[in-house]
A and B are shown apart, each in its own frame.
Chain A
Amino acid sequence: MKIIVCLKQVPDTETQIKIAPGGEKIVTDDIKWVMNPYDEFGVEEALRLKEKFGGDVTVIGMGPKRVTESIRTALAMGADKGILISDAALEGSDSLGTAKALAAVIKGLQFDIIFTGQRGIDEDQGLTGACIADLLGIPQVSLAVKLEVAADGKSVKVNRPVEGQTLVVEAQLPVLITTQKGLNEPRYASLPGIMKAKKKPLEEKALKDLGLDPAEVGLGGRKLKIIKITPPPARAEGKIVQGETPQDKATELARLLHEEAKLI
């Protein structure tokens, strides 16, 4: 089974995000970059399928050189081959531009299943997976929490939650599946795996290798433009309940919960 996992590098969830002057970007100087957590579920699922059916796993990432670290992490987890798409002309691509670049690379590869995270935790758009599937003309099943590939390796059943219920979707391979929390528990990149990853192939591709019109990608090719980023409102300061006796305090607390918080 040939499996492809698309991964994005995003700021670590514990990073304090600061908005750059101008309000259209974030400050990236002190950010710690990690593999998008939703993509990790895809890497893990790909490895489990490889363990069951044989075959190989290729991970594809796009972005600056630092994305290599996340590709290496996937290789250390057990993926076989990495591809980094890196070109200054691709910087600033929106989801569609990114999907065009990824699809251009994937077109040259053999594949049965493509995994992408259901969304990137940075911009939360959730578009790239669907765009890639459309560009490749293959079915897409989104938000997988469980999947089962038929023994003959020709079709897959995917569970996805819908409003408290479960929808089971069947699709023929090749297929693109977007992954989310609950699908699996991603393994650690083991230390021996990290040593082995150093020797695994990692190919780099630039825009000219993709056969795309530069006008379709990068900042110039954006169909969506970010006008403004605003921080979440600061949390209101806590209130210390005053009172002479515990009874007074409890009475006051009950009043506040009823009248101000309107919880009781």
Chain B
Amino acid sequence: MEHEIPESLALMLETVRRFVKQDLEPISKQVEDEDRIPDNIVQTMRDLGLFGLSIPEQYGGLGIGVLGECMVYEELSRANACFRTRIGTNNGIGSQGIVIDGTEEQKGHYLPRLASGEWIGVFALTEPEAGSDAANIQTTAEKRGDFWMLNGRKHFITNGDIADLATVFAVTNKTEKAKGGITAFLVEKTFPGFYVGAIERKMGMRGSHTCELLFDDCQVPAENVIGGLSMVGKGFKTAMKVLDKGRLTMGASALGSAQRLLELSLDYARQRVQFGRPIGEFQAIQFMLADMATQIYAGRRMLYHAATLRDRKGTAVVKEASMVKLFCTEMANRIADMAVQIHGGMGYMKDFPVERFYRDLRLTRIYEGTSEIQRLVIARELLKGK
């Protein structure tokens, strides 16, 4: 299967590459040091249309398909992972619940705001007691007249501090839980009882914040159940569908960073002289470079294949998506390790971007489904005969 890139997508990638090179790469270190993306850069991201890549055209987005979205992420992740993360929730977990299961009204109301980047959408599933065991959430929602009352605490919420709209998962039936007791709600930041908690201190991914979201008798209008009242109790399925799509894009982000690390390593291997010659002439370094390039090649082929398959079928490619996330994120971590090794002491220094990629990439094996969860998904699909 060949991955033909339509002319319009090729032009879009050209624009993104130029933006990354001219505007993002030069400020990647500044963003790391200041832990924030400058406002003018976010505005350019809005002007370019980056917040609406995956949102259908009739709702103000671009609807460029999963392959196109993945290719854009690859480019953005070359500079600093936080740029991808800033647009990532609007294109992914923060909007896809509405795109996949929302009512026509919800789509018309929320999606254009998310596509333009005027609003930031986030996904609030994870809780202190519910990580990989996502069904163990404790946040509750009780129906009281025209409102749902939400109570509970979410954490590790990407872009939570700047969220305008959160897709929040809460228990509506304690005995049913995942089988029919979890519901997905659309909660706006202005709803009474919605609070942003502490910003969490992370190992990396600076420039992108994750934080707690707190719900204290938070009043959510009755109709703000994703998909309407008939979808009460069906929220866990929505969550799984949303996460499934995100796996390919996570793979793409890791791949983009891995590609940059290979390029940085090649440059360094050519320039750094030890024992009277460039270290690239030593076999120990050559073998690492060869392994890096080979694994990136394999990962990219997998990703493009699975993304093309998903675009053609229009439905989930569960097994392949998990394989891509597992392989690309694990591979990118191995490459980051080799890149540090090739750079030696310099690779450990803050002056070089390599150590930042090394820390940032570590998260890709954990969030949106750990590597272990991906293996479980793959094995289950295999045993089902798929």
Which among A72, A190, A197, A198 is the interface contact of B49 at CB below 8 angstroms? A190
Give a binary string over A191-213; 1 marks a CB under 8 Å from any B CB, 0 the rest: 11111011000000000000000
The interface size bin for chain A is 10 to 19
A196 to chain B: closest CB distance in Å? 10
A residues less than 8 Å from B57 (CB atoms): 195
Which residues of chain A (76-100) have a CB below 8 Å from chain B? 76
Q: How far is the CA of A190 from the CA of B117 in the complex (A)?
A: 14
- Comparing B5-13, B244-252, B354-362, the segment that makes contact with chain A is B5-13
Assess the A73–B48 pair: CB atoms within 8 A: no
Which one of B8, B18, B52, B53 has the highest number of Cβ atoms from chain A below 10 Å of its Cβ? B8
Quick check: is B50 within 8 A (CB to CB) of the other chain? yes
Assess the B62–A195 pair: CB atoms within 8 A: yes
Quick check: is B30 within 8 A (CB to CB) of the other chain? no
Which among B10, B15, B18 is the interface contact of A191 at CB below 8 angstroms? B15
Q: Which residue of B lies closest to A193 (CB)?
A: B49
Assess the A69–B49 pair: CB atoms within 8 A: no
Q: Which residue of A lies closest to B11 (CB)?
A: A194
A residues less than 8 Å from B44 (CB atoms): 188
Q: How far is the CA of A198 from the CA of B8 in the complex (A)?
A: 7
Quick check: is B47 within 8 A (CB to CB) of the other chain? yes
Q: How far is the CA of A191 from the CA of B64 in the complex (A)?
A: 10
Q: How far is the CA of A194 from the CA of B53 in the complex (A)?
A: 12
Q: Which residue of A lies closest to B16 (CB)?
A: A191
Q: How far is the CA of A195 from the CA of B368 in the complex (A)?
A: 30
Quick check: is B19 within 8 A (CB to CB) of the other chain? yes
Quick check: is A10 within 8 A (CB to CB) of the other chain? no
B residues less than 8 Å from A188 (CB atoms): 15, 18-19, 44, 47-48
Quick check: is A173 within 8 A (CB to CB) of the other chain? no
A244 to chain B: closest CB distance in Å? 19
Q: Which residue of A lies closest to B18 (CB)?
A: A188
Answer whether A69 and B7 are a contact pair too, CB < 8 Å, given A188-B18, A194-B12, A195-B57. yes
Q: How far is the CA of A189 from the CA of B49 in the complex (A)?
A: 10
B282 to chain A: closest CB distance in Å? 21
Assess the A192–B49 pair: CB atoms within 8 A: yes
Which one of A69, A189, A190 has the highest number of Cβ atoms from chain B below 10 Å of its Cβ? A190
Q: How far is the CA of A194 from the CA of B57 in the complex (A)?
A: 13
Give a binary string over A107-133; 1 marks a CB under 8 Å from any B CB, 0 the rest: 000000000000000000000000000
Give a binary string over A231-262; 1 marks a CB under 8 Å from any B CB, 0 the rest: 00000000000000000000000000000000
Which residues of chain A (19-50) have a CB below 8 Å from chain B? none
Which residues of chain B (29-60) have a CB below 8 Å from chain A? 44, 47-50, 52-53, 57
B231 to chain A: closest CB distance in Å? 31
B6 to chain A: closest CB distance in Å? 9
Q: Which residue of B lies closest to A72 (CB)?
A: B11
Assess the B53–A191 pair: CB atoms within 8 A: yes
Q: How many residues of B contact A (CB 8 A)?
A: 20
Q: How far is the CA of A190 from the CA of B53 in the complex (A)?
A: 12
Assess the B62–A192 pair: CB atoms within 8 A: yes
Which among B8, B18, B19, B50 is the interface contact of A194 at CB below 8 angstroms? B8
Which among A72, A76, A191, A197 is the interface contact of B50 at CB below 8 angstroms? A191
Q: How far is the CA of A226 from the CA of B186 in the complex (A)?
A: 68
B270 to chain A: closest CB distance in Å? 15
Give a binary string over B264-294; 1 marks a CB under 8 Å from any A CB, 0 the rest: 0000000000000000000000000000000
Q: Which residue of A lies closest to B47 (CB)?
A: A190
A residues less than 8 Å from B10 (CB atoms): 69
Which residues of chain A (173-199) have a CB below 8 Å from chain B? 188-195, 197-198
Assess the B48–A191 pair: CB atoms within 8 A: yes
Answer whether A189 and B62 are a contact pair too, CB < 8 Å, given A72-B7, A195-B8, A198-B8. no
Assess the A191–B49 pair: CB atoms within 8 A: yes
Assess the B11–A189 pair: CB atoms within 8 A: yes
A residues less than 8 Å from B19 (CB atoms): 188
Which residues of chain B (163-189) have a CB below 8 Å from chain A? none
A126 to chain B: closest CB distance in Å? 25
Assess the B7–A191 pair: CB atoms within 8 A: no
A residues less than 8 Å from B49 (CB atoms): 190-193
B residues less than 8 Å from A72 (CB atoms): 7, 11
Q: How far is the CA of A59 from the CA of B357 in the complex (A)?
A: 42
Q: How far is the CA of A190 from the CA of B50 in the complex (A)?
A: 9
B residues less than 8 Å from A193 (CB atoms): 49
Q: How far is the CA of A198 from the CA of B11 in the complex (A)?
A: 11
A63 to chain B: closest CB distance in Å? 17
Q: Which residue of B lies closest to A189 (CB)?
A: B15
Q: Which residue of B lies closest to A192 (CB)?
A: B49
B residues less than 8 Å from A197 (CB atoms): 8, 11
Give a binary string over B289-330; 1 marks a CB under 8 Å from any A CB, 0 the rest: 000000000000000000000000000000000000000000
Q: Which residue of A lies closest to B60 (CB)?
A: A192
Q: How far is the CA of A54 from the CA of B174 in the complex (A)?
A: 62
B residues less than 8 Å from A69 (CB atoms): 7, 10-11
Assess the B11–A190 pair: CB atoms within 8 A: no
List 8 extra interface pairs beyond A194-B15, A195-B8, CB under 8 A. A72-B11, A73-B11, A73-B14, A188-B18, A189-B15, A190-B49, A191-B16, A191-B48
Which A residues form the contact surface with B (CB < 8 A)?
69, 72-73, 76, 188-195, 197-198
11 A–B contacts, CB within 8 A, in A order: A69-B10, A188-B18, A188-B47, A189-B15, A191-B12, A191-B15, A191-B16, A191-B53, A191-B62, A195-B57, A195-B62
Which B residues form the contact surface with A (CB < 8 A)?
7-8, 10-12, 14-16, 18-19, 44, 47-50, 52-53, 57, 62, 64
Q: Which 9 A-B pairs have the closest CB atoms?
A: A191-B49, A192-B49, A194-B11, A190-B48, A191-B12, A189-B15, A194-B12, A188-B15, A190-B49
